Amino acid sequence: MLLRECLHKAPVTVPPECTLQEAARLMSTEGVGCVLVMSGGEIHGILTDRDVSVRAVAAGQPLSTPVGSVMTPDPVTVEGGADIVDAYRLLQNREFRRLPVLEEGELAGIVTVDDLLVGLVLELASVLSPVAREVIRPELAG
């Protein structure tokens, strides 16, 4: 299964000068755990709910702080044609939970560890389904 098959909705983006409060409100409204920080069509960083709580709130940053000063800069990206197993290994090795996905250099979306796990389960189910059918109901197997 390819990463592009795991993308469910358009990514949420903000400019670097967006405030923490605006970004947090947007994450809440959109039901996402992160926003990509973009300028001039380029990804400059990623701001996660953890960044807001740990790097900003816990550090005493005011809500008017620009996200550009709190974000994780230059996030690792991956192409939509990559296999989900490879992306999962990348997230596992780098200890990320979210990965921006590009298509021909353009932002296509974000996949999360949860998205990849669901994709892996679906992939496994498609492989095991014929075997399970044969074991459980051999009379129905073709």
- This prediction has a pTM of 0.81
Would you mind telling me the total number of residues written for the chain in this entry?
Answer: 142
Instruction: Provide the mean pLDDT of the chain.
Output: 88
* 68: helix, strand or coil: helix
Percent of the chain with pLDDT over 90: 58
Q: Residue 137: what pLDDT? A: 64
Q: Which tens digit of pLDDT belongs to each residue from 115-128?
A: 777 777 777 777 67
| 79 neighbors 67 (Cβ within 8 angstroms) | no
Q: How far apart are CA 85 and CA 71, in angstroms?
A: 27
Q: How far apart are CA 41 and CA 106, in angstroms?
A: 8
> What CATH number belongs to 3-140?
3.10.580.10
Tell me the CA distances in angstroms from 48 to 45, 116, 121, 124, 139, one per residue in order: 10, 18, 26, 30, 51
DSSP 8-state assignment for residue 11: P
Q: Which tens digit of pLDDT belongs to each residue from 62-75?
A: 999 999 999 999 99
Q: Which tens digit of pLDDT belongs to each residue from 21-70?
A: 999 999 999 999 999 999 999 999 999 999 999 999 999 999 999 999 99
Tokens 């900003």 belong to 56
Q: How far apart are CA 32 and CA 43, in angstroms?
A: 17
